[in-house]
Copies of this chain bind each other. A is one copy, B any other.
């Protein structure tokens, strides 16, 4: 307490409860600071598994973690569910919907990304992105409603009601295409015995010449084969130019009848970054080696909101959950150092490898020193890593055991959609 009886403890404000924000919070566990975490949702989303919510393999409760649980046993931490509307670096003040202005001594901007439709006509209105829990629930509802509608009116089948297009051959596109194909083959085929399932097409469009660009050629080729084995039609060198509710116009000039288009093509930095009045780098906030904002040593930016460069390679960090998590932890530790009058340290990313799953029993894994895995072994590795990630950060409960059990036994949810 200072002489006026106010708390002398510095106030750390963390914007965003994703991988970066939560890691920053946890790194401040022992620091003599008050912390306020703000997120527009009451839960953290485990985004790498959102596609499993969309395909009814996991429930929202299994992929979400209640941020308020973090408050237990931490009386100096607060959480408010509110959308951040403005950041004022001059006044050291943040405004969020429904809250009085919040002042800070240290700020962590971990607001993540928003979907980038690259200005493609109709995409914002008719494409289904897969970045938030709401996106995943909407996509699932839409696919099931398209099948229901075709079940009632069979003329819709030839209009493309059962066709799902996926745009983007990165991890999101590959994972959702494989999972939708399995959903149709394992469940919907039995749910809709009257529908001609041979007309339930899953088509993946990728502008570039390969799927999974950042992976090694061997893994890319495996992913393509594994998708095709699951009935996914993979169209490389093809993009979309116009999206209507039931039609997709291709760059090459064709028109595809499809009532569902999943958008897995790209993200852009949260537009709030632009409001802080700092020149952006590729839409992101430029940070130094210690992740602090240029000219603002008390402001840290982590995850997809940051334009951070790996000092060793000179290249920007990939937009991965693991980067956000490690950067969040580094930012939290740097704040703790500054509070203790120690200097902030440069952030070093420890690359543990990348992976993507194509379906049950099929995945690709690329480890840092050039080692790769494909197929069932890779899938087991993927499973093991995700269990460890879920167990470490999100949930130590029955969920994991059930999830693994469901994956192994092909048990699913119940295709329940609330209007």
Instruction: Give me the interface of A with B, judged by CB distance under 8 Å.
Output: 42-43, 59-61, 64-66, 68-69, 71-72, 75, 78, 80-82, 98-99, 133-134, 137, 144, 148-149, 151-153, 190-194, 397-398, 402, 405, 411, 413-419
* Residues of the B chain whose Cβ atoms lie less than 8 Å from the Cβ of A405: 398
By the criterion CB–CB under 8 Å, are B416 and A149 in contact?
no
By the criterion CB–CB under 8 Å, are A61 and B413 in contact?
yes
C-alpha gap A415/B149 in the complex (Å):
32
A134 and B418 contact, Cβ closer than 8 Å, known pairs A59-B61, A78-B194, A149-B98: yes
By the criterion CB–CB under 8 Å, are B192 and A68 in contact?
yes
Q: 28 pairs across A/B with beta carbons < 8 Å?
A: A42-B416, A42-B417, A43-B414, A59-B59, A60-B416, A60-B418, A61-B413, A61-B414, A61-B416, A66-B414, A68-B191, A68-B192, A69-B191, A71-B190, A71-B191, A75-B193, A78-B194, A82-B152, A98-B149, A98-B153, A99-B152, A133-B416, A133-B418, A134-B418, A134-B419, A397-B411, A398-B402, A398-B411
* Residues of the B chain whose Cβ atoms lie less than 8 Å from the Cβ of A414: 43, 61, 64-66
* Residues of the B chain whose Cβ atoms lie less than 8 Å from the Cβ of A71: 190-191, 193
C-alpha gap A205/B228 in the complex (Å):
61
C-alpha gap A28/B72 in the complex (Å):
54
Which B-chain residue is minimally distant from A65 (CB atoms)?
Answer: B414
* Residues of the B chain whose Cβ atoms lie less than 8 Å from the Cβ of A68: 190-192, 415
By the criterion CB–CB under 8 Å, are A418 and B191 in contact?
no
* Residues of the B chain whose Cβ atoms lie less than 8 Å from the Cβ of A61: 59, 413-414, 416
* Residues of the B chain whose Cβ atoms lie less than 8 Å from the Cβ of A190: 68, 71-72
* Residues of the B chain whose Cβ atoms lie less than 8 Å from the Cβ of A402: 398, 402
Measured CB to CB, the closest approach of chain B to A23, in angstroms, equals: 19
C-alpha gap A416/B411 in the complex (Å):
23
Measured CB to CB, the closest approach of chain B to A201, in angstroms, equals: 21
Measured CB to CB, the closest approach of chain B to A187, in angstroms, equals: 9
C-alpha gap A207/B173 in the complex (Å):
57
